[in-house]
Amino acid sequence: MILIQLSYGRAFRCAPDSFLTILGSDHYMAAEALIDYKRKDGKVVALPCVTMIERNAAGEATSVRIFIDTAPIFQTEIK
């Protein structure tokens, strides 16, 4: 479980839910997932996430980029 504290005071708890797609080669990998975020009001919101990793010849990560669409967290009506 990860607690994310945003600069304006709201906190969200999150846990990885499921990986949808994982693609990669020796030096590049991308993983698509849905992340469940539990808001302070108790509602759970699924957010789309993509992680991209670049690795060197030794297999060590040289770059990790994580992209998350956080817009659903702030919707007043959760479907």
The total number of structural domains in the chain stands at 1
CA distance 15 to 10: 17
Q: What are the residues whose beta carbons fall under 8 Å from the beta carbon of 2, sequence distance 6 or more?
A: 13, 14, 15
Predicted confidence (pLDDT) per residue in 45-79, tens digit = 888 989 999 999 998 999 999 999 989 888 876 55
Tokens of 31: 């993983």
Does residue 41 form part of some domain? yes
Domain containing residue 41: 2-74
Asked whether residue 37 is assigned to any structural domain, the reply reads yes
Residue 79 lies in a domain: no
Tell whether 38 is covered by a domain. Answer: yes
Residue 11 lies in a domain: yes
* SS3 at position 61: strand
CATH number of residue 59's parent domain:
3.10.450.50
Q: Which two tokens stand for residue 43?
A: 């509602």
What are the Cα distances from residue 76, in Å, to 15, 18, 48? 21, 24, 18
pLDDT at residue number 63: 94
Q: What is the pLDDT of residues 8-47, one digit of tens each?
A: 445 555 455 577 888 999 899 998 888 888 888 888 888 8
